Every structure is written in C-alpha cells, then in structure tokens.
Amino acid sequence: MIISSSVLGALTIATYYAGFETEQAVTISFLALGFSKLLFTYVLRNPGSTLLSNDIVRNPYVAGSIVLCIVLLLATVYLPGLSDVLGTQNPGKTGWYILLGMSLIPFIVGQTLRFFQSAGKNNTP
C-alpha cells in the first residue's frame, strides 16, 4: 500500500502541482514505481539486523541486479527506439526530484518499521 500510495502521489504531484503533460507524468510515476521497488529490497532484511550490516547488503548478486535494473530503467527513458515504443519521456530535473523523493517514502517507512521491530525484540525478556 505504501509503494502504491507513493506512485500515485508522484503521478498526482507531477500532473496537478508541477504541471507535467500526461506522458511525462506517467513516466515519472513509472520510474517512481521502479525505484521504490529497488529501494524496498533493502527493507526486506531481518528485523534484528542493521541497515548497513545484513545479508542483503553483503550479497553481491543483489547489488548487481539492482545496478542492472537501474540501467534498464534509465534505458526505458533515454534509449532512442525503446523510449518511443514504451511511450516514455525524459522526466527532466523537476521530475527526477519528484520521483526520487516519492521513491524514498516506502524505504523510509520500511526502515522505521524495522527499527521499531528491532527495538521491540531487544526489550522482550
């Protein structure tokens, strides 16, 4: 629900508050979805582990797949031909601010929940 809300929030902000055209606003929300899912990977750690010391951070395959996904997301927007087929447009500087900001929300909420889960686990007798 948090990721969905962030993506819809990105679409709403891009369309109604930043004044982007429909195609550009949809691209912003598409990229917000992609980056939200990639960042959310780091929330899937064990509740007792820390943000920088866990199985996900130590796994080189996770890091490699995230880099590959970022390259593919960028290709959907900036690779001529592919962007034409997918109907994506350059989000521009403001669009990047919107999509990255909205992509961080599920990550921050998830990390906050992990923090409270860890704190509750440490206080249990």
The domain in which residue 69 lies consists of 2-120
Alpha carbons 48 and 54: distance in angstroms, whole number: 9
Residue at 125 is within a domain: no
Residue at 100 is within a domain: yes
Residue at 10 is within a domain: yes
- Residue-wise pLDDT for 24-60, tens only, equals 999 999 999 999 999 998 888 777 777 777 788 888 8
Residue at 76 is within a domain: yes
Residue at 20 is within a domain: yes
pTM: 0.89
DSSP string, 70-92: HHHHHHHHHSTTHHHHHT----H
Alpha carbons 11 and 6: distance in angstroms, whole number: 9
Residue at 67 is within a domain: yes
- Residue-wise pLDDT for 56-113, tens only, equals 888 889 889 999 999 999 999 999 999 999 999 999 999 999 999 999 999 999 989 8
How many structural domains are present in the chain? 1
Residue at 110 is within a domain: yes
Structure token pair of residue 73: 């997301």
Question: How high is the pLDDT of residue 121?
Answer: 67
Question: How high is the pLDDT of residue 9?
Answer: 97
pLDDT higher at 118 or 26: 26
